[in-house]
A and B are shown apart, each in its own frame.
Chain A
Amino acid sequence: MSNPLLKVSDLRLRYPGTGFRTASPEVLRGVSIEITPGETLGVVGESGSGKTTLGRAVLGLARPTGGTIKFDGRDITHMNPRERRPLARDIQVIFQDPYTSLNPSLQIADILTEPLIAQGTSSQAARNSVRQLLDSVGLPANAAQRYPKEFSGGQRQRIAIARAVALKPRLIVCDEPVSALDLTTQSRVLDLLIDLQRQTGVAYLFITHDLSVVRHISHRVTVMYQGELVETGQTPEVTTNPQHEYTRSLLLASPTADPDRQAERRAARRLLRLANS
């Protein structure tokens, strides 16, 4: 494998407490991950596992209290906003909720050109690239002059993707990007993400709670539980032959869309629970 694009080592994070004496619990408790260029690393976990915080730390939106984050060999753990600004060309984001991730009062064209202009592209050149960006995510060119509320959830998520790829980044942090979408839309958006990855060689840090989504898009998977990684490996291994008990219970807990196999899985879960108790 080539050199890691992103290397997170022993990352720790504790949100500042509300009062003097109240220390909040540690959200990340020594997390280490690596992503190579063009790769998708799936991060699976339940709510409160710290998976979203990991993504926000990589994006510079949360402040780690220990450990390092290296991008392309550079330490970006404690960069101030000014130092961090050029990094926007390399690291971008797609959030879960397509309803609040787009400013409702801006036209789509303004939303898409915002990162370009912030990075010094002339506003004319940025405008010119809008059509191509919309095309790349499968939206018509006339979407540019419309507002987010005129689009469905899936379409909004496509806009968010277009905004993320506008700067041709090398890493995109995807925080549950398909969780709010309908089933049919979900698979189409996942396919779009995979296509874009094949075309541009972008790497994804793909955060989700849904194992079936992870199977579909990740090369490698890491499972998070209470701020720690419990298991990391190639997707087929982790999702079919999990080593860690938590991963196993996670797999058995997610219902499968087949009545007979689901009955088997249910029975298996009962057995596991009995064995544990």
Chain B
Amino acid sequence: MTVPERQATLDANHVEERRKGSFARMLRNPLGLGALVLLTAVVMLGLLEPVLSAHDPNFSSLTAVNTPPFSPDYLLGADQYGRDIWSRSLVAINVSVISGLLGAGVAVSIGTVFGLISGYVAKRTDAALSWLFNLVMTFPALILVMILYPITGGDYKIMMGVFGIFISAGIFRLVRNLVLGVRNELYVDAARVAGLSNVRILSRHVLYAVRGPIIIASAFLAVASIGIQAGLAFLGLGSSQLPSFGLMAGAAFLNIYQHPIQMLWPSLFLAVMTGALVMLANAYRDSLAAPNAVPKKPRTHTVVPPIEETGATDSAASIDGNQDQARSKGNLLTVRNLRVEYPQADGTYRSVVKGVSLDVNLGEVVGVVGESGSGKTQTAFSILGLLPRQARVSADLLEIAGEPISAQDDRTLRRMRGSALAYIPQEPMSNLDPSFTVGSQLIEPLTAGMSKKEARATILALLARVGIPDPLRTFKSYPHQISGGMAQRVLIAGAVSSRPKLLIADEPTTALDVTVQAEILDLLRDLQGEFGMGVLLVTHNFGVVADLCNRVVVMKDGEMVESGDVRSIFHAPSKEYTQQLIAAILDENTTRSDPPAAAPSALNKEHAR
């Protein structure tokens, strides 16, 4: 029902990776291996029941009533009717195993088939099937099984089959949502363009992606089925002649004041079976996620102070020198030897920023350019103190607006972020909280220093200033109600609302259309002049650099390649890498001039049909 579905949905993201050998990987996990051994052992006990059984499971011996466990002939003792608990347990194992297989099997078959159809065909079929399964889902399965009890005649196999039908809604939803996700993947479109039939697309691309979560969910469904069967038998719904753990627990419950030990055996067997299944499912999930499980793990034990001052003693002289120099120039931002590292799976650290030094002067726009993986964004975020928790940041010197930021001092940075330091992100939409109005999230940081009314007036004025036509309407809108260009203006208004001295913009126009980009660039230039801000602009777009920047820093693989005045970088780059970058800019003055290729070879195709 809900739990397996949730479990499996959470894992769906991890399952995309090829899971060749994921079973083998699961067995290398001691927990997984242990669970599998335990489960196999219990199932074997059930299968060998005819051999291992000491008595007829329903045979009552008056002399054996309430025999304590570990007596000769009665390994686990006998119950209040003198029946051998060991023999009854063996039969009950089989009942539980069959219940689990039936419940999970029925649910998985129905849910998967209809989920695949619903998700892939979509449209009306999906609407109808979703409605039906939602209906099934909103009603407690247990109560329906009870209502149907007269029909099933108390046969636990039929009851479990019925139960399977009712819990199939969970699997249906899981599969359907996964398929809907996969269906819109471009590789499915590519397969369609390649002429694959629907059946082949479903089996090759879709089922492949969803089978991991289904396997995990079915383990949880089996657990639920075993539990429900035991529960029904405990209530007395079912044959009193067929020993099951529920029935045994019911009998022991009546006897709980006299011989509580009898309660132990059915509980123990049930716990071992369901526990082994749950652990097996968890181990399988871990093995599926293994290739990319690394990033999440470090969360659990690393709390690293944002900035670590390193080399404070051995290079003190040179830093002091730098510092003096920096101050005399009236630097807004001074960074010396900044490094950012991330922990790896094997315990080592991978550095993404390797000793970057840069300065931003008052009223100056400095561009940081580089290709993906150059560490330019990491540099910007480390200055803002916005890197993920597990990142390890260090610097010989980091000074913002004359204030040094150091190891114990997360608070300074936090205070700065509300005042001297501001940030403009790349993606306008994802950077607004979807649940709050634009206005409420803009005034929140301001209310610490002024009344709500003042903050509101300030923001409304700013919204007008950044070129929003109807500020009040935008103020009251939710993020999804405004366009991307408007959202970026809102974010800019938010950034400058604290009257910052230093603005750090991370690809502020990359997600926008060219015409909007031009307007935003104009706005940024105007605001920069108006507020006299220093700007650190991270971008990969040389056009944006040419438009806004006074100075440029070129980065590659976490290192600084060169820095200099914007004209000298464009016209006379000194480093080979910068020259390559500049050369790769598509020339505006030449257009393609060769005529369309004649196409002889394409008309008579060579390959066999």
Contact = CB atoms under 8 A, between A and B. Distances in A.
Given A88-B194, A115-B194, A212-B586, A38 B547 contact: no
Given A40-B592, A184-B580, A115 B195 contact: yes
Interface string A246-277: 00011011111111111000100100000000
B543 interface: yes
B596 interface: yes
B559 to A, nearest CB: 17
The main secondary structure of chain A at its interface with chain B is helix
A81 B602 CA distance: 24
Interface stretch (A6-14, A22-30, A119-127): A119-127
Interface string A96-128: 010011111110000000111011110001000
Contacts of B598: 37-38, 201
A153 B373 CA distance: 11
Contact of B198 (A81, A182, A213): A81
A31 interface: no
Interface string B181-192: 000011101111
A257 B545 contact: yes
B543 to A, nearest CB: 3
A92 interface: yes
Contacts of B186: 95, 97, 100-101
A23 B192 CA distance: 28
Interface string A188-224: 0010001001111111000001011101111100000
A133 B518 CA distance: 41
Contacts of B603: 37, 170
Interface stretch (B28-36, B245-253, B356-364, B509-517): B509-517
Contacts of A60: 192-193
Contacts of A261: 546
B565 to A, nearest CB: 10
B85 to A, nearest CB: 48
Interface string A224-246: 00000000000110011000000
Pick the most buried of B204, B209, B599, B605: most chain A CB atoms within 10 A of its CB. B599
A85 interface: yes
A89 interface: yes
B546 A262 contact: yes
A79 to B, nearest CB: 12
Given A38-B597, A209-B514, A120 B609 contact: yes
A168 B606 contact: yes
Interface in A123-162: 125, 129, 147, 149, 153, 160
A59 interface: yes
B147 to A, nearest CB: 36
Given A93-B190, A103-B205, A114-B196, 11 more contacts: A61-B192, A104-B18, A168-B606, A169-B602, A201-B602, A211-B514, A216-B591, A218-B592, A219-B595, A236-B591, A253-B515
Interface of A: 36-40, 46-47, 59-61, 81, 84-89, 91-93, 95, 97, 100-106, 114-116, 118-121, 125, 129, 147, 149, 153, 160, 163, 167-170, 182-187, 190, 194, 197-203, 209, 211-213, 215-219, 235-236, 239-240, 249-250, 252-262, 266, 269
Q: What 4 A-B pairs have minimum CB-CB distances, sorted nearest first?
A: A201-B599, A255-B543, A88-B195, A115-B194
25 contacts: A37-B598, A46-B514, A88-B193, A104-B18, A105-B208, A116-B607, A118-B191, A120-B609, A170-B602, A182-B371, A182-B540, A183-B371, A183-B540, A201-B601, A202-B599, A209-B514, A212-B585, A212-B586, A212-B587, A239-B591, A250-B515, A255-B518, A256-B546, A257-B543, A266-B547
